[in-house]
């Protein structure tokens, strides 16, 4: 692969730092690297390939000469700088939700729809973290028989809310043990030893913005415009790695053996499914790596064409940083 000039917009956040780590791990062909953030982070040093990269304040001029810009910033920051990135001739691989549902912006999971990345007009969107993990788990099944519906419940780790989510869970757990007052600042309620069945804001139909992403993004990524999804998103007191329970219906009835074979053969998946020996996907086993583990595969007892499964994946890596860099690798190739 040819060497390219890369910038990370939002380099000091949890996803931005993970992007630096993944770029190094995957030996991404970098000629020059820029770490960009807000003015308050300018001057910070971030480790990279045995050296350091100094954070610069992001301005419209920052993107001149860049080939690829990896976005790890807020929607507002992504919208603010997207015109300058495109004008500079770079491709913006954006992790925010700012452009995901725009018709002219590809929404890409490289294991599923890599060809869509080549249809960009300067911006490619990274999907929602839970969407990525779930669709990687079911994409092989969809190839065997198209998926008609999905019922999903997500169990999302506190790291999905950024570094402060991790800190809050640790502080609350310590306060609980020490019998001290528990404060909730990042999450709307205490998260330690609790579950919070809301992620995202109310859309007016009883679902949250996070819950609607599974259907809306799933339709676009898998090219299934009629896909129907009902989803419940729950924040759980887990440090890292999201888990999702999925029941799906396919056009033709599939056997459990067919589904297991499809999952085992699917790129980015690992079949981890041995209930008798207590072997199944868990957050602790799937953290800090890029494979989606899939298990608990069984027939849905409520309908003839349904399959239920359980999957886990690291939302900071495959759900964000690694997926974006895999998209960048498609561009370089």
d(C-alpha 268, C-alpha 255), whole Å? 22
d(C-alpha 53, C-alpha 44), whole Å? 8
Asked if residues 273 and 294 have their Cβ atoms less than 8 Å apart, the reply is: yes
| The one catalytic residue among 242, 269, 311, 312 | 242
d(C-alpha 295, C-alpha 18), whole Å? 27
Take residue 178 and report the two structure tokens written for it.
């020490």
According to DSSP, the β-strands at 242-250 and 147-156 are antiparallel
Q: Is 121 a catalytic residue?
A: no
Which residues are CB-neighbours of 102 under 8 A, at least 6 positions away? Answer: 123, 125
Asked if residues 68 and 46 have their Cβ atoms less than 8 Å apart, the reply is: no
d(C-alpha 317, C-alpha 288), whole Å? 7
According to DSSP, the β-strands at 228-235 and 147-156 are parallel
d(C-alpha 116, C-alpha 100), whole Å? 13
Asked if residues 162 and 252 have their Cβ atoms less than 8 Å apart, the reply is: no
Picking from 190, 128, 131, 111, the residue whose alpha carbon sits closest to that of residue 158 is 190
Can you list the alpha helix ranges (DSSP code H) found in 145-255? 163-177, 209-222
| The one catalytic residue among 120, 129, 311, 312 | 129
Order of all β-strands in the sheet with 123-125 = 45-48, 51-57, 30-37, 4-9, 68-71, 91-94, 123-125
Q: Is 223 a catalytic residue?
A: no
**Structure-token match 């402060």, residue found:** 164
Active site residues: 129, 242
């Amino acid at each position: 692969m040819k060497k390219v000039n890369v910038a990370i917009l939002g380099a000091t956040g949890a996803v931005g730092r993970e992007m630096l780590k993944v770029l190094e791990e995957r030996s991404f062909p970098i000629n020059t690297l820029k770490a960009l953030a807000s003015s308050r982070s300018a001057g910070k040093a971030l480790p990279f390939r045995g050296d350091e990269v100094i954070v610069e304040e992001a301005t419209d001029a920052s993107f001149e000469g860049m080939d690829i810009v990896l976005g790890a910033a807020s929607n507002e920051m992504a919208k603010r700088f997207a015109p300058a990135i495109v004008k500079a001739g770079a491709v913006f691989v954006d992790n925010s939700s700012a452009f995901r549902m725009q018709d002219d912006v590809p929404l890409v999971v490289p294991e599923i729809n890599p060809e869509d990345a080549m249809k960009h007009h300067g911006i490619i969107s990274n999907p929602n973290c839970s969407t990525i993990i779930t669709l990687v788990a079911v994409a092989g099944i969809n190839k065997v028989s198209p998926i008609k519906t999905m019922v999903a419940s997500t169990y999302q780790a506190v790291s999905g809310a950024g570094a402060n989510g991790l800190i809050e869970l640790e502080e609350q757990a310590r306060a609980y043990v020490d019998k001290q007052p528990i404060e909730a600042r990042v999450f709307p309620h205490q998260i330690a030893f609790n579950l919070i069945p809301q992620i995202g804001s109310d859309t007016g139909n009883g679902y949250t913005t996070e819950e609607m992403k599974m259907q809306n993004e799933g339709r676009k990524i898998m090219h299934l415009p009629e896909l129907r999804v009902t989803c419940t998103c729950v924040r759980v007191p887990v440090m890292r790695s999201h888990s999702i329970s999925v029941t799906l219906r396919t056009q033709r009835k599939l056997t459990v053996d067919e589904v297991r074979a499809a999952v085992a053969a699917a790129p980015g998946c690992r079949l981890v499914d041995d209930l008798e020996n207590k072997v199944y996907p868990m957050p602790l086993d799937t953290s800090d790596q890029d494979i989606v583990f899939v298990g608990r595969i069984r027939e849905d007892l409520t309908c003839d064409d349904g399959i239920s499964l359980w999957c886990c994946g690291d939302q900071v890596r495959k759900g964000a940083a690694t997926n974006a860099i895999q998209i960048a690798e498609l561009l370089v190739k």
